[in-house]
Amino acid sequence: MTSAANDIEFRSVSKRYGAVTAVSDINLAVPRGAFVALLGPSGCGKTTCLRMIGGFEHPSEGEVFVGGSPMNGVPAYRRPVNMVFQQYALFPHFDVENNVAYGLKQLRPRLTAAEISRRVREALEMVRLGGFAKRRIHEMSGGQQQRVALARALVNKPQVLLLDEPLAALDKKLRTAMQFELQSLQRELGITFVLVTHDQEEALSMSDLVCVMNAGRIRQLASPKEIYDHPADLFVADFVGKTNRLPATVDPATGSVTLGNGRTLATARARAMSAGAATVALRPEVIRLARPTAANGALLEGTVTHRIFLGSSAEYSISVPGLGDLLVTAERHGTAESDLVEPGETVAMNFDPGEAHIFPA
Ligand SMILES: Nc1ncnc2c1ncn2[C@@H]1O[C@H](COP(=O)(O)OP(=O)(O)OP(=O)(O)O)[C@@H](O)[C@H]1O
Ligand SMILES: [Mg+2]
DSSP 64-124: EEETTEE-TT--GGGSSEEEE-TT----TTSBHHHHHHHHHHH-SSPPPHHHHHHHHHHHH
How do residues 276-298 score in pLDDT, each as one tens digit? 999 999 999 999 998 888 766 78
Give, using CA atoms, the residue closest to atom 6 of ligand 1: 17
Given this model, what pLDDT does residue 26 score? 98
**Pocket perturbation via mutation, ligand 1, pick of 21, 24, 48 by most ligand atoms within 8 A of CB:** 48
How do residues 71-109 score in pLDDT, each as one tens digit? 999 999 999 999 988 777 789 889 999 999 998 998 889
Ligand 2 centroid, distance to 67 Cα (angstroms): 24
Angle between helices 142-154 and 113-126 (to 10 degrees): 130
Q: Which residues of the chain have pLDDT under 50?
A: 1
Given this model, what pLDDT does residue 3 score? 54
Q: Which atom of ligand 1 is nearest to the CA of 23?
A: 14
Contacts by 275-278 with C-beta closer than 8 Å and gap 24+? 275/250, 275/251, 276/249, 276/250, 276/360, 276/361, 277/247, 277/248, 277/249, 277/250, 277/360, 277/361, 278/248, 278/249, 278/250, 278/358, 278/359, 278/360, 278/361
Ligand 2 centroid, distance to 87 Cα (angstroms): 10
What is the pTM assigned to this prediction? 0.88
> Which domains can be identified in the chain, with CATH numbers?
6-238 (3.40.50.300), 242-360 (2.40.50.140)
Give, using CA atoms, the residue closest to atom 5 of ligand 1: 17
